Chains A and B, each alone.
Chain A
Amino acid sequence: MLELRLVQGSLLKKVLESIKDLVNDANFDFSSSGFSLQSMDSSHVALVALLLKSEGFEHYRCDRNTSMGMNLGNMSKMLKCAGNDDIITIKGDDGSDTVTFMFESPTQDKIADFEMKLMDIDSEHLGIPEAEYHAIVKMPSAEFARICKDLASIGDTVVISVTKEGVKFSTRGDIGTANIVLRQNTTVDKPEDATVIEMNEPVSMTFALRYMNSFTKATPLSNTVTISMSPDLPVVVEYKIAEMGYVRFYLAPKMEE
């Protein structure tokens, strides 16, 4: 028996929108402490890791650990039928080949049930080792999205370099080059507007902008984004989900020329 009631149903809608274009199918792993998902994109270049802790749910019941394979495109279609203010409940029974999404309007005058077919997914689970990162940049998520979008109109890859001067995003393409430098800026009215650079050692790495732009679909989940880099490790682009968990995107670097 599985029953999870999320008052802020829009969160689940936003989570799905942030990952559905990167990953087609994924196993949702439910346990008493919450649910998680880990999946690579079809080219095995990027990996998404999602965690939603049970504390964030108004009601959370999971009698035994269970894994449900879902097509994220189909799940997104169903969750789009929930209103932004709706309460969403996920229900499942042991051994069933379906999962039910229940949407309740805030005033309880409309209640909808959507039953979705589950699927068997053979997915590899990867161990993600704890790492000490050379540089961690925390910045407004909207600013990061803007930079990735702007640079993608010039080139295909971005070089992200962190030095004590700041963080530099660079690209080059047929029409020319672009460099955007952000300096640490903590003298802002709201903490979420700050750019904070923690650097142990300078680092410079190259990534595909197509993936970075895909990650920025998670922007509605959080005002800030954290970018963690170490040479010879995938970059981690993390969007925290208030009080509940996170969506983390890992992207393998391009080889340096």
Chain B
Amino acid sequence: VNPQRQITAFFSKT
């Protein structure tokens, strides 16, 4: 099973 990554790992808060 491939673990799911999160959007917040790629885009940072503004």
Contact = CB atoms under 8 A, between A and B. Distances in A.
| A, B bound | yes
Interface of A: 40, 43-47, 124-129, 157, 206, 208, 232-234, 250, 252-257
B12 A252 contact: no
Of all A-B residue pairs in the complex, the 7 with the closest CB atoms, nearest first, are A254-B2, A126-B11, A252-B5, A127-B14, A44-B6, A255-B3, A47-B7
27 contacts: A40-B8, A43-B6, A44-B6, A44-B8, A47-B11, A124-B13, A125-B13, A125-B14, A126-B12, A127-B13, A127-B14, A128-B11, A129-B11, A157-B2, A233-B10, A234-B7, A234-B10, A250-B11, A252-B4, A252-B5, A252-B6, A252-B9, A252-B10, A254-B3, A255-B3, A255-B4, A255-B5
Contacts of A253: 5
A170 to B, nearest CB: 13
Contacts, number: 57
A255 B10 CA distance: 13
B5 A254 contact: yes
Contacts of B12: 126-127
Interface of B: 2-14
B8 to A, nearest CB: 5
A126 B14 contact: yes
Contacts of B10: 232-234, 252
Contacts of B13: 124-127
